[in-house]
Amino acid sequence: MKKIRIWELDALRGFCILAMLGFHFLFDVTHLYGIAAWEFPGWLLFVMDWGGVVFFLISGVCATLGSRCVRRGLTVLGCGLIVSAVTVAMYLLGMAYDAIIIRFGVLHCLGVCMILWALFRRLPTAALAVLSVIFIALGLWFRGITVESRWLFWLGLLYKGFATSDYFPLLPFLGFFLAGAVLGRLLYKEKKTLLPGVNPRSPIPRFLQWAGRWSLPIYLLHQPLLTGLIYLILIAQEVS
């Protein structure tokens, strides 16, 4: 079955990926390279910490609109493993500290959630809702726990000294993914847009849809592009 595209879901995903790009740029110029001195306000820190929830909600909704979830999940997970390999190489080459290594980031978690959806999709909506609440609650509880094992970080249980540049544990984010699936079944039962009065071909919605449909390549390429842009800024500062 061909995946059904709902324009507002693509647009919302596009808005989120562009917002993420903006947040990463701010972090790079202030904390990573020290080009500008600015303390992030509390609301921005909150958005940076929890804004990724929207990605999982959208992915959960979209999982109810198509098939081949395992194939897509393997693709996303594979991209996550490539990103991890690049960060490991950066560490081994002395280009960054070991905290740069992405051990279980957003792509790893999203990929696993998509693969697991092949099992969860057979459950009734009420059961999905209950499981989503349980997984979210467990994940939030895990945030205050430190364990001895160094191999449970993917689940949300951290060991002392754990550090990474991108971290989205399976719990609670599988819960948010399933919550999105519940929303998808309830809100998009007819598999049609909820905003029929909005013109999706107008410039802003169209641009956001484009960004949403290409969110994976944008995510993969955004950091090298931002790094290049920042180096140009540094060169311009030296020249001036």
Question: What is the Cα–Cα distance from 208 to 191, expressed in whole angstroms?
Answer: 20
Give the SS3 label for residue 95.
Answer: coil
197/139: higher pLDDT: 139
pLDDT surpassing 80 at residue 34: no
Tell me whether residue 114 is exposed, middle or buried, using C-beta atoms within 10 angstroms of its C-beta: 0 to 12, 13 to 18, 19 or more.
buried
CA atoms within 13 A on the CB side of 168: 25
Residue 3 pLDDT exceeds 70: no
DSSP structure class, residue 67: S
Burial 87-106 (b: 16+ CB within 10 A, else e): beebeeeeeeeeebbbbbbb
pTM of the entire structure? 0.91
Q: 142: pLDDT confidence band, cut at 50, 70 and 90? A: very high
The pLDDT tens digits for 49-103 are 888 999 999 999 999 998 789 999 999 999 999 999 999 998 898 877 888 899 9
pLDDT averaged over the chain? Answer: 91
Dihedrals phi, psi of 215, to nearest 5 degrees? -65, -35
Q: Which amino acid is at 214?
A: W
- Collapsed DSSP state (helix, strand, coil) of residue 230: helix
pLDDT of 35 reads 80
User: Quick one: tokens of 181?
Assistant: 């699936």
| pLDDT for 2 | 54
Percent of the chain with pLDDT strictly greater than 70 = 98
Tens-place pLDDT, residues 177-194: 999 999 999 999 999 999
Q: What pLDDT shows up at residue 209?
A: 96
pLDDT at 39 over 70: yes
Report the pLDDT value the prediction gives residue 128, as an integer from 0 to 100: 98
Q: What is the pLDDT of residues 103-130, one digit of tens each?
A: 999 999 999 999 999 999 999 999 999 9
The reported pLDDT for the residue numbered 194 is: 95
Give the tens place of pLDDT for each residue, 158-174.
999 999 989 999 999 99
Residue 232 confidence (pLDDT): 85
Domain boundaries, given as residue ranges, for the chain: 7-239
